[in-house]
């Protein structure tokens, strides 16, 4: 089967428009920009993930496996096949995604990359199924690599690190980050809902530094409506 990438690859400009309108009610039933498959440390097969996404009625999503894109590629091929077999059906937009370990203010953070060119040489060091070291491990270089590959860079779960989000977000903004994962469920509630206090604080910082707000469940288990 020949995959028509033009039909399944959603653009960076489309993603920017979505990010401009993300709010506390966007995730997990309209959009979801943080999830993992068996290709990194998740439990979902890409095909099962896409079946759930369509059943939920997601308008758009990104698979963000750690340091690899093979789960995204499998999901993209599955989605193209599903579209072929379901002409006229509403299908979600699927963006390329990855989660990358990086050093920011001398601690490890996770940076989400979206809508980048898979074959761009700048992103290749970060798609080797393991964290990088040295210069490539620095947040400024991770962000630059995502940008050079035509993508957007987002600081994942800003209130989950050893340094305060009040320190990390300004530092990430200074290094060129595009957005922050404003809506995130830090205590893994059931049903999933973003943590109110942290979300409000992160949104305020995003507004101050002119950053996009994003949302994601950070699903590692078998249910896209839950984190674990």
Q: pLDDT, tens digit, for every residue of 96-131?
A: 999 999 999 999 999 999 999 999 999 999 999 999
Under 8 Å between Cβ of 154 and 178 = yes
Q: How confident is the model at residue 4 (pLDDT cuts 50, 70, 90)?
A: very low
Beta-strand ranges (E) seen in the chain are: 31-32, 60-62, 93-95, 97-104, 107-114, 152-155, 179-183, 212-215
The whole-model pTM stands at 0.95
| Percent above pLDDT 90 for the chain | 95
Structure confidence by residue, pLDDT tens digits, 197-206: 999 999 999 9
What is the Cα–Cα distance from 78 to 113, expressed in whole angstroms? 21
């Amino acid at each position: 089967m020949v995959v028509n990438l033009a039909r399944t690859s959603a653009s960076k400009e489309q993603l920017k428009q979505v990010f401009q309108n993300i709010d506390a009610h966007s995730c997990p039933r309209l959009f979801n920009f943080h999830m993992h498959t068996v290709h990194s440390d998740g439990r979902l097969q890409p095909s099962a993930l896409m079946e759930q996404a369509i059943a939920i009625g997601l308008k758009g999503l990104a698979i963000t496996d750690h340091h690899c894109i093979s789960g995204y590629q499998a999901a993209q091929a599955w989605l193209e096949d599903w579209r072929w077999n379901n002409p006229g059906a509403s299908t979600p937009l699927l963006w390329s995604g990855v989660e990358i370990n990086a050093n920011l203010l001398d601690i490890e953070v996770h940076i989400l990359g979206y809508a980048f060119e898979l074959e761009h040489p700048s992103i290749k060091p970060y798609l080797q199924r393991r964290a990088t070291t040295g210069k490539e491990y620095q947040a400024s270089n991770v962000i630059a690599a995502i940008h050079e590959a035509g993508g957007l860079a987002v600081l994942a779960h800003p209130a989950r690190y050893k340094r305060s989000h009040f320190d990390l977000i300004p530092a990430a903004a200074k290094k060129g980050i595009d957005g922050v994962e404003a809506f995130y469920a830090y205590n893994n509630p059931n049903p999933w809902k973003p943590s109110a206090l942290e979300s409000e604080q992160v949104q305020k910082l995003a507004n101050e530094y002119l950053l996009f707000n994003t949302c994601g469940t950070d699903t590692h288990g078998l249910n896209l409506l839950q984190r674990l």
